[in-house]
Amino acid sequence: MSTEATNAASGAAESPAREAVIRIEDLAVEYPPRAFGEGPTVAVGKLSLEVTQGEVFGFLGPNGAGKTSTLQVLLGFQPPTRGAAFIYGLEVRHPIARQRIGYLPELTYYYKFLSAEELLRFYGRLFRIPRGELEARIDSVLKLVDLDPVRKRLIKTYSKGMQQRIGLAQALINSPDLLILDEPTSGLDPLGRMKVREIIQRLKSEGKTVFFSSHELGEVETVCDRIAIISQGELKMVGRVADLVRQYQTHLERIFLKVVGYEPQASA
């Protein structure tokens, strides 16, 4: 971790009494060499991070920084090369660690031959939600994402924005304590973005934790309590958004560019 990171890493330490929802310890993710004689590709170096209960945490970094690899480990899609990751104290490779998670992937196309309510019923059953409760939750999340009027229509007839909203609905079907969002506003119109912001704020007010990666830094600045910036597989900075903005006397986009080492060309 860089000096900046150490300086700003006060966020998690400020709330020692809170439960660590996500704990990443010395995480390294490497991919096998692509050609003979090459070394392995290091996606994540030695990442340590903690996200506590009830916070909205932004996970930022330029493309290829290692965000996706970290998310993959967190969700159990791939094992870490070294180190470990825990969700609610459970190592992520155990499926039960995902019982309290909601995950919205970036740009996913759901089963086209299902309707919205059938899709949600399917995902809800995977969580073993009792039938009556599941139907109530389906009603509630479909209303929340404004898809209630089209709940019986097949997903293949949905627009891109509607697909993203059904994605959000499936992520909320188990009433998760931790929501992991990967570019949640990608493909959404301004109204859709506002809706996502509202949902995140609402979840926060309910004491839920939201962990999301995004390139929309304006959005991150609006909704996040804390952020972490990684670049080239290393954690460059972690801290409270308000503290960082105060410390650097500028907005998040400028801070981000500075931290990842981008020097803007002098313009005329």
Partner 1 sequence: MNSVFCLAGIVIKELYRRKDFYVLFVLTAIITLLLGSVNFFHEDKIVRYVKDICLLLIWLSSLVIAVVTTARQIPTERESRTIFPLLAKPVTRGQLVGGKFLGCWLACGIALLVFYLFFAVVVGAKEGRLPLSQYFQVIWMQWWMLAIVIAMVLLGSVLFSAPSANATICFAAILAILILGGHLHRLAAVQPSPLGQALSVLYFLIPHLEWFYAVRERLIFDSALLGWGDCLLAAAYAAAYVGLLLVATWTVFRRKILTV
**b/e for 14-29, b at 16 or more Cβ within 10 A?**
eeeeeebbbbbeebbb
Q: Which is nearer to partner 1, 16 or 32 (CB)?
A: 32
**Could you tell me the smallest distance in angstroms from the CB atom of residue 268 to partner 1?**
41
- Taking a C-beta distance cutoff of 8 angstroms, is the pair 102, 172 a contact? yes
Q: Given the structure tokens 């952020």, which residue do they identify?
A: 227
Q: How far is the CB of 123 from partner 1 (least distance, A)?
A: 6
Distance of alpha carbon 227 from alpha carbon 234, whole angstroms: 14
Is 127 among the residues that bind partner 1 (CB under 8 A)? Answer: yes
143 binds partner 1 (CB under 8 A): no
From the list 68, 185, 214, 231, which residue makes contact with partner 1 (rule: CB under 8 A)? 68
Indicate if the alpha-carbon torsion angle 195, 21, 6, 28 is positive or negative.
Answer: negative
Q: Which of 44, 180, 188, 210 binds partner 1 (CB under 8 A)?
A: 180
Region from 7-15, 170-178, 184-192, 245-253 binding partner 1, contact rule CB under 8 A = 170-178
Q: Does 72 bind partner 1 (CB under 8 A)?
A: yes
Residues paired with residue 228 on neighbouring β-strands, in sequence order: 59, 238
Evaluate whether 116 touches 150 at the Cβ level (below 8 Å): yes
Q: How far is the CB of 2 from partner 1 (least distance, A)?
A: 26
State the sign of the Cα–Cα–Cα–Cα dihedral 71, 74, 76, 81. Answer: positive
Decide: is 210 part of the binding site for partner 1 (CB under 8 A).
no
Q: Give the binding site for partner 1 (CB under 8 A).
A: 31, 68, 71-72, 75-78, 95-96, 98-99, 101, 103-111, 113-114, 118, 122-123, 125-128, 167, 170-171, 174, 180, 182
